[in-house]
């Protein structure tokens, strides 16, 4: 649920997080070694609670609750110098605000609202974006003549080339290469992997 093969690797869950002011940090597809400690926790969770699974949903939930208590309150962790996570945890200073924030863009951006069909109109022509962003605004930042950066909030989705309109190009660089400045400006940091092409290019899901 955290990512998908859509532009920007956005999912319905990550879009909701972004609208709450939470910025997901994603690893590369099929690269669990980039998040090894978390993957190890998943392995332990599955081994201790789901193999074999419990006979009912309520019994399965009790297993999860027991694992969570043991993992946080009882078990010492080598990575924490044999301390328990509960002894180090401190609540966040940020309050959870359930109201979704409006998506805004700098003044020099062109703004288009994604239709329920998952696209926008540009120069009277159809450009497919993503069904995940249906009814939400995307921002287009002018680059060289006829080319535009396409953003959803702080996330760089793609480039739009007016000469080949009707196709978009997925940003090959990860979302971490986009900086949202306090002034509200977005900067897309160039890299060798970022380019403008004339075909639809989607990130691998494998």
Provide the residue-wise pLDDT of the chain in tens; the chain has 206 residues. Answer: 788 989 999 999 999 999 998 888 888 888 888 988 888 899 999 999 999 999 999 999 999 999 999 999 999 999 899 999 999 999 989 888 889 989 999 999 999 999 999 999 998 889 999 999 999 999 999 998 889 999 999 999 999 988 887 545 544 333 333 333 333 333 333 332 222 222 233 333 33
Rounded Cα–Cα distance for residues 123 and 9 (Å):
26
CB 95 within 8 A of CB 105: no
Burial of 90 (0-12, 13-18, 19+ CB in 10 A): exposed
Count how many Cα atoms sit within 13 Å of the Cα of residue 92 in the half-sphere of its side chain. Answer: 4
What pLDDT score was predicted for residue 166? 53
Q: Say whether the peptide bond before residue 151 is cis (omega within 30 degrees of 0).
A: no
Rounded Cα–Cα distance for residues 27 and 31 (Å):
7
For the beta carbon of residue 124, count every other beta carbon within 10 angstroms. 6
What pLDDT score was predicted for residue 2? 84
* H or E element at residue 127: strand 125-128
What pLDDT score was predicted for residue 43? 93
What pLDDT score was predicted for residue 51? 95
What pLDDT score was predicted for residue 163? 84
CB 13 within 8 A of CB 158: no
What pLDDT score was predicted for residue 182? 37
Which residues, in sequence order, are CB contacts of 23 under 8 Å at separation 6+? 17, 154, 175
CA distances from 38 to 8, 68, 101 (A): 23, 14, 29
Report residue 138 as tokens. 């995307």
What pLDDT score was predicted for residue 53? 95
């Amino acid at each position: 649920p955290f990512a998908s093969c859509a532009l920007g690797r956005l999912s319905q869950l990550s879009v909701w997080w972004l609208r709450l002011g939470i910025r997901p940090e994603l690893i590369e597809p099929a690269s669990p070694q980039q998040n090894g400690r978390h993957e190890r926790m998943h392995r332990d969770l599955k081994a201790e609670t789901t193999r074999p699974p419990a006979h009912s949903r309520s019994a399965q939930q009790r297993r999860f609750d027991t694992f969570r208590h043991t993992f946080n309150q009882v078990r010492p962790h080598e990575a924490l110098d044999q301390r328990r996570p509960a002894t180090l945890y401190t609540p966040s200073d940020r309050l959870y605000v359930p109201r979704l924030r409006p998506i805004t863009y700098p003044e020099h951006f062109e703004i288009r609202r994604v239709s329920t069909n998952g696209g926008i109109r540009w120069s009277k022509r159809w450009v497919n974006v993503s069904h995940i962003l249906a009814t939400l605004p995307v921002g287009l930042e002018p680059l060289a003549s006829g080319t535009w950066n396409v953003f959803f909030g702080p996330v760089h989705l793609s480039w739009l080339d007016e000469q080949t309109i009707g196709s978009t190009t997925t940003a090959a660089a990860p979302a971490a290469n986009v900086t949202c400045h306090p002034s509200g400006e977005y900067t897309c940091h160039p890299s060798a992997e970022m380019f403008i092409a004339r075909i639809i290019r989607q990130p691998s899901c494998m």
